């Protein structure tokens, strides 16, 4: 009944916000496996970002390339959510192949921010964030390669967490940048994300980068920050952060302090290079991962082709959008023989310096906090033609991906009537610290 009511509501509201690319029309069917009666997530609808494979249900990555692609298997995260009793309610909109920060590069049109329909919902998990913020669902899966769960969570006034790299399986997640990609969760309440993370985490024999670390009972949250050592990187409060955003973030930090946290200012000196490092590494890995869309095995194939090279060139030229092509070109260049050392290798070295910066901080602190994004949601169509301005928006979220750290965004107030998020970054596998601190602020 809840699933049906959810579908009816999506049907009524989706024309306005365009958060779903497709909905699951076979929800009445019996699941293929037994679900234990005492599952807390039983019957709860879950929206799934459309770059996560769902068996027999179209999975498009918001690209013309995969507009009619029906996977033959379920991503591990989806399989685990279903086994916990959740209902796959439908597939949410995203930037094409998760490349973007505004959900405007989707082949299926932009998603609108439910707080103000003239604003972007952020990206690339903008559909998931808008679906939660508008009340269509209580939770959604997203992916976060450079901020794609946290920045939309911030722009939509919801909670969003990217777990530690390796905490959650990437099997069945359409690969963008394999050393950065991680599935995350967006939800109205902190505890719901904790409950879902508990269900989807853990080792998966299909993904060798998953960790065998034990999965704690994340949902047993202790809303307590007494004695917690909190670091605020000076750099995070600079970087063109809007003063009104800063004000809300500072208020939240003060709350943590009043609740007993010890707050101190620190330095994260190499974070200033994060955007450059990220766009070289992510684009390089993307250029390799996206080689598989060649018009032969699956996905779009151009008509009117005369030889093999024609198949490749025309299918890729017609199947990919501009932003995806930009990344493939940038990545191929950075990896090419003459430039590998100057670009990819250099970026990998600076990535290590950023990892070291965090290690130093976490020797003395439990949590790093700051704004999730420098601004609130920006106007639709205002940045889409200026990739560099768009990329700079990710400066505060990217460092956690480069270092593989768990990080979340929790709503802390409004600036000019739009939501502001506080980012919480923890040491590897310390997601519980994030949930506990976020709960204090909810």
Nearest approach in angstroms of CB 266 to ligand GLN is: 25
**What minimum distance in Å lies between the beta carbon of 188 and ligand GLN?**
21
Positive or negative, the Cα torsion across 252, 255, 256, 262?
positive
- Nearest distance in Å: CB 353, ligand GLN: 21
Residues in 68-107 at the binding interface with ligand GLN, rule: CB under 6 A:
98-101
Active site residue 124: yes
User: Between 59 and 145, whose beta carbon lies closer to ligand GLN?
Assistant: 145
How far CA 324 is from CA of 96, 163, 248, in Å, comes to 7, 25, 35
C-alpha to C-alpha distances, 114 to 120, 121, 281, nearest whole angstrom: 9, 8, 33
Q: Half-sphere exposure of 347 toward its Cβ, with a 13 Å CA cutoff?
A: 21
Q: Which of 101, 106, 124, 193 is catalytic?
A: 124
Residues 159-218 that bind ligand GLN (CB under 6 A): 176
Where does this chain touch ligand GLN (CB under 6 A) — which range of 108-116, 139-147, 226-234, 242-250? 139-147
Comparing CB distances to ligand GLN, the nearer of 98 and 438 is: 98
Using CB under 6 A, count the residues that bind ligand GLN: 14
Closer Cβ to ligand GLN, 18 or 101, answer by number = 101
* Piece of the chain touching ligand GLN by CB under 6 A; list 138-146, 200-208, 218-226, 363-371: 138-146
CA contacts within 13 A on the Cβ side of 327: 27
Per-residue x/- mask for ligand GLN, residues 257 to 286, rule CB under 6 A? Answer: -------------------------x----
Q: Which is nearer to ligand GLN, 41 or 407 (CB)?
A: 407
Measured from the CB of residue 395, what is the shortest distance to ligand GLN in angstroms? 11
- Given the complex with ligand GLN, which of 13 and 113 has the nearer CB atom? 113
| Residue 83: CB minimum distance to ligand GLN, A | 26
- For the question of residue 332 being annotated catalytic, the response is no
Residue 265 beta carbon to ligand GLN: minimum distance, rounded to whole angstroms = 27
Q: Is residue 110 a contact point for ligand GLN (CB under 6 A)?
A: no
Minimum CB distance to ligand GLN, residue 329 (Å): 15
CA-based max dimension of the chain: 70
Options 144, 204, 285, 431; binder of ligand GLN; rule CB under 6 A: 144
Q: How far is the CB of 98 from ligand GLN (least distance, A)?
A: 4
Q: Find out whether 268 and 235 touch, Cβ atoms under 8 Å.
A: yes
Our CB check for ligand GLN shows the closer of 78 and 282 to be 282
Tell whether residue 121 is a contact of ligand GLN (CB under 6 A).
no
Residue 91 annotated as catalytic: no
Specify the residue, 125 or 439, whose C-beta has the smaller distance to ligand GLN: 125
Q: Which is nearer to ligand GLN, 124 or 439 (CB)?
A: 124
Q: Pick the stretch among 77-85, 143-151, 255-263, 366-374 that binds ligand GLN (CB under 6 A).
A: 143-151
Whether 403 contacts 350, CB under 8 Å: no
Q: Contacts with ligand GLN in 368-427 (CB under 6 A)? A: 394
Distances (CA, A) of 110 to 123, 135, 153, 442: 10, 19, 17, 29
Active-site residue (options: 49, 64, 162, 246): 49
Q: Which is nearer to ligand GLN, 85 or 152 (CB)?
A: 152
Of 69-77, 128-136, 146-154, 336-344, the segment contacting ligand GLN by CB under 6 A is 146-154
Q: At closest approach, how far in Å is the CB of 124 from ligand GLN? A: 4
Residues that bind ligand GLN (CB under 6 A): 98-101, 124, 143-148, 176, 282, 394
Residues annotated as part of the active site: 49, 124, 148
């Amino acid at each position: 009944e809840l699933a049906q009511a959810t579908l009816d509501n999506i049907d009524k509201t989706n024309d306005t916000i365009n958060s779903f690319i497709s909905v699951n029309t076979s929800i009445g069917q019996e699941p293929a496996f037994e679900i234990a009666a005492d599952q807390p997530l039983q019957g709860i609808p879950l929206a799934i970002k459309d770059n996560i494979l769902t068996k027999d249900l179209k999975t498009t990555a918001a690209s013309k390339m995969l507009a009619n692609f029906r996977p033959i298997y379920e991503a591990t995260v989806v399989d685990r959510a279903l086994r916990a009793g959740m209902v796959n309610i439908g597939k949410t909109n995203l930037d094409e192949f998760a490349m973007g920060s505004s959900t405007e590069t989707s082949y299926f049109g932009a998603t609108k921010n439910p707080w103000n329909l003239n604003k972007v919902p952020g990206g690339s998990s903008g559909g998931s964030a808008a679906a939660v913020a508008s009340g269509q669902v209580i939770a959604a899966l997203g992916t976060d390669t450079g901020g794609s769960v946290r920045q939309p969570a911030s722009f939509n006034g919801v909670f969003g967490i990217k777990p530690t790299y390796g905490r959650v399986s990437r099997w069945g997640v359409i690969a963008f940048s394999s050393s950065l990609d991680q599935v995350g969760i967006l939800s109205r309440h902190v505890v719901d994300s904790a409950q879902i993370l508990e269900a989807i985490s853990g080792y998966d024999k299909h993904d060798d980068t998953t960790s065998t670390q034990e999965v704690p009972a994340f949902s047993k949250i202790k809303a307590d920050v007494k004695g917690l050592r909190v670091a605020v990187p000076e750099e995070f409060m600079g970087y063109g952060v809007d003063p009104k955003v800063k004000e809300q973030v500072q208020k939240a930090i003060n709350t943590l302090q009043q609740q007993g946290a010890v707050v101190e200012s620190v330095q994260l000196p190499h974070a200033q290079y994060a955007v450059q490092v990220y766009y070289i590494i992510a684009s390089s890995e993307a250029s390799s991962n996206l080689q598989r869309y060649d018009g032969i095995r699956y996905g779009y194939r151009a008509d009117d082709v005369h030889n093999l090279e024609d198949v490749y060139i025309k299918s890729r030229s017609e199947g990919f959008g501009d932003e995806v092509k930009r990344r493939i070109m940038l990545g191929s260049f950075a990896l090419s023989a003459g430039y590998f050392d100057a670009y990819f290798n250099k970026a990998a070295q600076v990535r290590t310096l950023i990892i070291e910066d965090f290690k130093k901080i976490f020797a003395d602190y439990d949590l790093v906090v700051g704004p999730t994004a420098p601004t609130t949601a920006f106007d639709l169509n205002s940045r889409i033609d200026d990739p560099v301005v768009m990329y700079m928006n990710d400066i505060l979220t990217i460092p956690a991906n480069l270092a593989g750290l768990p990080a979340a965004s929790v709503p802390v107030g409004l600036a000019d009537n739009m939501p502001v998020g506080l980012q919480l970054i923890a040491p590897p596998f310390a997601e519980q610290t994030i949930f506990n601190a976020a709960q204090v602020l909810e």
